[in-house]
Amino acid sequence: MKNSLLIKNAEVYAPERLGKKDILCVNGIIMKVDDSIDEKTIPFETEVLDAGGRAVVPGLIDQHVHVTGGGGEKGFTSRVPEIKFSHIVESGVTTIVGLLGTDHYTRSVENLLAKTKALNEEGITAYCLTGSYAIPTVTITGEVGKDIAYIDEIIGVKVAISDHRCSNPTKEELIRLASEVRIASLVSGKVGEVHMHTGIGKDGIKKVIEIIKETDIPAKHFRPTHMRKANEDDVVEFTKLGGYADYSSTETDPLGKAQEIMDVIEKGAVEDHITISSDSNGSLPKWNEKKELIGITYARMTSLYGEVKALMQKGYPLERAIRFITSNVADALEIGDRKGHICEGADADIVILDSNNDVDQVIAMGALVVKDKNAVKKGFFED
């Protein structure tokens, strides 16, 4: 029996604007995108969903999510809880990459992998990273390369740089780590990313740029996150070298973050190599000049699409703004043939927006999981 869904009267942003189209999804795959598809011509029972001329975009991709929770900088009570399936899909996200943060003592890669597997079972696409902030790297098999090569869900490693909480890895340690990841990526056919939490330290990503210039390791393996205004010149150079630079969305000042992204592109950064992620369920500690903790909260996934809305408010059209959380990320993760695009043969991950361009309905792998802004499918223990 085939699972079939026909979306009618969709104003498709694939992310390029295609105009009014119908989209046929069968068994979780987009089978056809055409001006008009008559449901009577489909040789099996098909559910019909009328988009009513509203904008339809690819399912969003969030490549930096603390799926098991982050935090812990203010003691055990400050550990952020696991993310809920409903919170993910109600944010329009259908593909995520989970990771650890500061805390690799009370959290583990094993627990992270288990949560990743659970999210896949619940109906979205989930990957994860081995490692955390620390060097030596915490793993499951004992080696970063083995984790990537042998564990399907693991596509790279997490590490922290330029932060007073990190292990302050040397250039040589980063070279060895990236080299191991590259070999494992070639063996396993995965992207093999060195995902780097980048703090507000003085060094920024300068070591990474030096490594790319001085070695034969391709820039694509390095994935610095939490880029900001202070990194602007380095981001321009890094993206021109072939790297992908990631900015974190924010609930507190989305227009300011949008302006940072627009400014770095105006300054010469390669737009297709800029991505945005939410840092969802990761802690957001506030430090004073003495590096003393003076406040803490945590990030929400809703800020991801909120950043797109901020870019649109700043003048970017939807088809340009949506790329930072769809096609750009998919191409960076080397899954662009299946994710981040609305095209024949891609996974049926689709978001229907409302008349205000807010997330309204979400289809993940061909199944309707959000209707009228509320999850119709929830996680195993959700009420």
Supply the pLDDT for residue 206: 96
Q: Which two tokens stand for residue 285?
A: 């500690």
pLDDT tens readout for residues 74-91: 778 778 889 999 999 999
Mean pLDDT of 294-302: 80
In the predicted structure, residue 1 carries a pLDDT above the cut 60: no
Residue 293: pLDDT band with limits 50, 70, 90: low
Domains and CATH numbers, the chain: 4-57+341-375 (2.30.40.10), 60-332 (3.20.20.140)
Digit-coded pLDDT (tens) for 309-368? 999 999 999 999 999 999 999 999 999 999 999 999 999 999 999 999 999 999 999 999
Amino acid (one-letter) located at 117 = K
pLDDT range class, residue 287, cuts 50, 70, 90 = low
Element (H, E) at 150: helix 144-150
Q: Which residues are CB-contacts of 142 (< 8 A; sequence separation ≥ 6)?
A: none
Phi, psi for residue 311 in degrees, rounded to 5: -65, -40
**Is the model's pLDDT at 233 over the cut of 80?**
yes
Question: Are the C-beta atoms of residues 275 and 246 closer than 8 Å to each other?
Answer: yes
Paired tokens of 356: 């205000």
Q: Are strands 125-131 and 93-98 parallel, antiparallel or unpaired?
A: parallel
> Facing residues of 126 across strands?
96
> CA torsion sign, 44 to 347 to 9 to 378?
positive
pTM (2 decimals)? 0.95
Q: Is 279 labeled as catalytic in the residue annotation?
A: yes
Determine contact, residues 229/260, Cβ cutoff 8 Å. yes
Q: Which one of the listed residues 147, 234, 279, 331 is annotated catalytic?
A: 279
